[in-house]
Amino acid sequence: MAELALKYGCNPHQTPARIYNRHGPLPFSVLNGTPGYINLLDALNSWQLVKELRETLDTPAAASFKHLSPAGAAVAVPLSDELKKAYFVENLDLSPLAVAYARARGADRLSSYGDWAALSDTVDVATAALLRREVSDGVIAPGYHPEALDILKQKKRGAYPILQINPDYKPVETERREVFGLTFEQQYNDLIAGPKLLENVVTRRKEIPPGKVRDMLVATITLKFTQSNSICFALQGQAIGVGAGQQNRLACTDIAASKAETWFLRQHPAVLDLEFRKGARRPEKINAIELYLKGDMTPEEQSAWRDSFRKAPPPFGDTPRREWLQRLGGVTLGSDAYIPFRDNIDRAARTGVEYVIQTGGSVQDDSVTAAADEYGMVMVNTGFRLFHH
């Protein structure tokens, strides 16, 4: 039985701890650093996500994971100049894999601080250079170019955890977990979220353009590996807002929508033109932008916020927030289970949602579909629930 001893479990007092495979060798090797218990949970969940994105959409994929849910996930769709600036990558030479990670990391940069990165392809120099400058707790990928590996080994004073996963590894059909000394057992969730899930369009509007098919699949695959209940907003091949782990779906929708709005507001000209003081570090700039978008600050936040800028930031700009947000459209909402009431659709419509993919099967299906029709949305009922716990 192959095993890897861990420093401790979820918390430092939970010792001893280990990870092991009863059925053969571990499917990954540690190339650098010492991954912990939570690191490995994030690594194995995030790897499954990017592997499925890669196989389904045939393009490099990346995820930025924190505490068993993705802060962001994306495939390699070219970046606009505005997004390059909003993601702080305008001066970098990005490969497709690096673009995917820039998108995944850029969706919710506050949540991605100290993430676990998952990359679907062999890591090249461009991706390693991007990852090297970010605050990250580790990375998993199927391989690394020698120079890229050397770059990543320099992170955290040489202690950055780097895992190489066997891309051909397949888990056994039956998975088990223990809770309170009791063993749960179930079939591994081998449902592949492919285009066949999109066949049951229940709204009057039926057409799903290719780019929206991609976004529906990005949202669905992201949700498959997000702690439930969960809602994902997707656009341009990436998650732009993930609302995870809430007890009611409207709260999930509101969290995801708020994150999506913040993502779009970061592309506002007033935000892109902010002038930071010389020497301001990227995390400081990110926090200052979030406070700028928040608007309502305490006196202490105001003081710290002003110190980040070369000169006092101007008002939000010639285009007010609400007017700017009205330009956000074509967004996809994914739900990991059925949408129980139309209030989710009403909230989503305020944040540019035009496409919905959900399980269906609620007693309120008719009213939810009617709400989608009122807003001119396309809605797909897959018939499959994707809870993940």
pLDDT digits (tens, 9 = 90+) for 237-261: 999 999 999 999 999 999 999 999 9
pLDDT digits (tens, 9 = 90+) for 340-349: 999 999 999 9
pLDDT above 70 covers what percent of the chain? 98
Peptide bond into 209 cis (omega under 30): no
Q: Which domains does the chain possess? A: 23-165 (3.40.140.20), 191-265+324-381 (3.40.140.20), 269-318 (1.10.287)
Per the annotation, the verdict on 67 as an active-site residue is yes
Flag whether pLDDT at 172 surpasses 80.
Answer: yes
Provide mean pLDDT across the span 12-34. 95
**pLDDT value, residue 298:** 73
CA distance 67 to 247: 17
Under 8 Å between Cβ of 34 and 159: yes
In the block, tokens 């209030």 appear at 343
Provide mean pLDDT across the span 226-234. 97
Interacting residues of 252 by C-beta distance below 8 A, sequence separation 6+: 229, 230, 231, 243, 244, 246
**pLDDT value, residue 335:** 97
Higher pLDDT, 281 or 117: 117
Token pair recorded at residue 193: 């979220």
- Give the closest residue to 234 by CA, choosing from 245, 247, 223: 223
pLDDT digits (tens, 9 = 90+) for 175-204: 999 999 999 999 999 998 889 999 999 999
- Give the closest residue to 259 by CA, choosing from 328, 203, 190, 210: 328
The mean predicted confidence, pLDDT, of the chain is: 94
pLDDT band of 338, cuts 50, 70, 90: very high
**pLDDT value, residue 207:** 97
Provide mean pLDDT across the span 28-55. 97
Under 8 Å between Cβ of 123 and 147: no
**pLDDT value, residue 103:** 98
Provide mean pLDDT across the span 121-136. 97
Flag whether pLDDT at 46 surpasses 90.
Answer: yes
**pLDDT value, residue 313:** 76
pTM for this entry: 0.95
Per the annotation, the verdict on 39 as an active-site residue is no
Flag whether pLDDT at 228 surpasses 90.
Answer: yes
Per the annotation, the verdict on 66 as an active-site residue is yes
pLDDT digits (tens, 9 = 90+) for 133-165: 999 999 999 999 999 999 999 999 999 999 999
Sign of CA dihedral 85, 111, 53, 44: positive
Per the annotation, the verdict on 170 as an active-site residue is no
**pLDDT value, residue 296:** 67
Under 8 Å between Cβ of 264 and 325: yes
Token pair recorded at residue 371: 């709400």
Under 8 Å between Cβ of 167 and 145: no
| DSSP 8-state code for residue 160 | -
**pLDDT value, residue 316:** 74
pLDDT band of 320, cuts 50, 70, 90: confident
CA distance 326 to 323: 5
pLDDT digits (tens, 9 = 90+) for 260-309: 999 999 999 989 998 888 888 888 899 889 888 876 667 776 776 777 88
Name the catalytic one among 32, 229, 344, 381: 229
In the block, tokens 């929708």 appear at 253
Name the catalytic one among 32, 45, 66, 268: 66
**pLDDT value, residue 242:** 98
Name the catalytic one among 67, 85, 156, 285: 67
- Give the closest residue to 100 by CA, choosing from 253, 206, 239, 277: 239
The type of residue at 383 is: G
| DSSP 8-state code for residue 213 | H
CA–CA distances in Å: residue 254 to residues 41, 51, 92, 205, 257 = 27, 29, 34, 25, 5
